[in-house]
């Protein structure tokens, strides 16, 4: 039987060479594409940081907000935490003007400023009006004192001492820089101030000590200075990118802890969006007062005070 001729064995060498060359070409081509359209490294991409504008749309006009800080733990408490005991008084009064195109303006109003109500024979303190007629009566008196237009203040915000502590603790703490150590002890109110001087982080109970402290040598001026210090510190802290993302939930939790306001949540975020964007340039104004007299706790507005008492930015007295 004739033998079949042997089949030639496949030559793998040239084939492997061709496959290797093709793979090298593909790899080189992909590398060239990578140079032209490089794939971003997700791990090294910067994370977008929030800004105040992310909170909401700023208001289209200036808005005035009356902030009332009470001497009780919460607005609805029948007994305050001050002396003499009784319904809550306004212990701190701030009139805030949020300007969409300009700096935040804050007018500090002394709680012991004398006001004369219609039908009353004797003046009484501005701070005592809250126990008589709440935020509405207080706002009416502030409008007349300051010379605001009808309908202003546009909104009000009433905070008890619990709300202030909760706000600060919700942020973690705030940075403040008292110029010196503050010491005070009031046994009747069971309240003690014990703060170091210098730059430090303050918790809610320490911020309460700061806003309530009065220097015996200059009680009104020191109280207003401390209020300004706390407002600046709060604005600076809330404007931090890491804090902006938690403000919405923080505000919601505060409403559940006794804050009284006619601001809606979107309105509050809108005012914060505008105010925090100019927080570093906030402008404070104090009410000029007549010298204090022994035995007379009420203070009068000085005759040298401007008219109107609080001017909008860019508006002179002659334009009013």
Distance separating alpha carbons of residues 226 and 186, to the nearest angstrom = 18
Mean pLDDT for 129-148 is 95
Residue 42 domain-assigned (yes or no): no
pLDDT tens for 104-125 read: 999 999 999 999 998 888 999 9
- Residue 91 C-alpha from the chain's centroid: 19
**In a domain? residue 106:** yes
Alpha carbon distance 310, 107 (integer Å): 7
Query: Has residue 186 been placed in a domain?
Result: yes
Looking at residues 120-147, what average pLDDT do you find?
94
Q: What is the CATH number of the domain that holds 243?
A: 3.40.630.190
* CA atoms of 95 and 115, how far apart (whole Å): 17
pLDDT at 308: 86
Number of domains in the chain: 1
Count Cβ atoms below 10 Å from residue 111 Cβ, excluding itself.
21
Nearest to 61 by CA among 99, 95, 104: 99
Find the helix or strand (DSSP H, E) in which 41 lies: none
pTM metric for this prediction? 0.82
In a domain, 29, yes or no: no
The distance from CA 307 to its chain's CA centroid, rounded to whole angstroms, is: 29
Q: Please name every residue paired with 95 in a beta bridge, in sequence order, or none if there are none.
A: 66, 107
State the pLDDT confidence band at 317, using cuts at 50, 70 and 90: very low
Q: Cis ω on the peptide bond leading into residue 308 (within 30° of 0)?
A: yes
Query: CB neighbours (10 Å) of residue 130?
Result: 25
If we measure between CA atoms, which residue out of 124, 126, 122, 123 comes closest to residue 108? 126
Q: How far apart are CA 139 and CA 152, in angstroms?
A: 8
Q: How far apart are CA 30 and CA 33, in angstroms?
A: 5
The answer to the question of residue 2 being in a domain is no
Q: What is the pLDDT of residue 209?
A: 96
Report the C-alpha gap between 127 and 129 in whole angstroms. 6
Please give the DSSP secondary-structure letter assigned to residue 64: E
Q: Tell me the backbone φ, ψ of residue 212, rounded to 5 degrees.
A: -95, -10
**Domain that residue 212 falls in:** 52-289
Which are the contacts of 55, defined by CB distance < 8 A and separation ≥ 6? 244, 247, 248, 269, 270, 272, 273, 276
pLDDT tens-digit profile of 17-75?
A: 565 555 555 555 555 555 555 556 655 555 568 899 999 999 999 999 999 999 999 88
Helix (H) or strand (E) holding 52: none
Average pLDDT for 141-153: 94
Residue 241 lies in a domain: yes
pLDDT category at 10 given cuts 50, 70, 90 is: low
Higher pLDDT, 270 or 27: 270
- Segment among 14-28, 89-103, 279-293 with least mean pLDDT: 14-28
Residue 284 in domain = yes
pLDDT in tens, 158-199: 999 999 999 999 999 999 999 999 999 988 778 899 999 999
pLDDT category of residue 320 using cuts at 50, 70 and 90:
very low
Distance CA 219, CA 281 (A): 26
In percent, how much of the chain has pLDDT > 70? 81
CA angle 16, 22, 23 (to 5 degrees): 90
10 in any annotated domain: no
């Amino acid at each position: 039987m004739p033998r079949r001729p042997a089949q030639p064995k496949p030559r793998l060498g040239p084939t492997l060479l061709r496959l290797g060359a093709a793979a090298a070409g593909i790899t080189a081509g992909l590398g060239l594409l990578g140079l032209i359209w490089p794939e971003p490294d997700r791990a090294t991409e910067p994370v977008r940081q929030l800004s105040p504008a992310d909170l909401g749309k700023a208001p289209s006009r200036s808005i005035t907000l009356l902030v009332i800080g009470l001497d009780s733990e919460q607005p609805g408490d029948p007994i305050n935490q001050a002396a003499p005991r009784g319904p809550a008084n306004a212990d701190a009064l701030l009139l805030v003007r949020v300007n969409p195109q300009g700096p935040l303006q804050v007018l500090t109003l002394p709680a012991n400023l004398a006001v004369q109500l219609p039908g009353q024979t004797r003046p009484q303190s501005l701070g005592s009006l809250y126990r008589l007629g709440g935020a509405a009566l207080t706002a009416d008196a502030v409008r007349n004192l300051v010379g605001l237009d009808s309908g202003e203040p546009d909104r009000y915000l009433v905070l008890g001492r619990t709300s202030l502590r909760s706000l600060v603790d919700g942020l973690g703490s705030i940075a403040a820089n008292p110029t010196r150590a503050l010491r005070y002890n009031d046994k009747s109110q069971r309240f003690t101030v014990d703060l170091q001087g210098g730059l430090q982080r303050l918790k809610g109970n320490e911020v309460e000590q700061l806003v309530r402290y009065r220097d015996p040598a200059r009680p009104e001026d020191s109280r207003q200075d401390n209020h300004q210090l706390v407002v600046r510190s709060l604005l600076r802290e809330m404007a931090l990118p890491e804090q902006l993302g938690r403000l919405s939930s923080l505000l919601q939790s505060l409403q559940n802890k006794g804050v009284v306001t006619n601001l809606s949540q979107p309105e509050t975020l809108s005012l914060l969006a505008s105010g925090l964007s100019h927080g570093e340039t906030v402008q404070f104004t104090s009410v000029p007062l007549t010298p204090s007299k022994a035995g007379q706790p009420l203070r009068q507005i000085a005759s040298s005070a401007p008219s109107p008492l609080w001017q909008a930015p860019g508006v002179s007295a002659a334009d009013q």
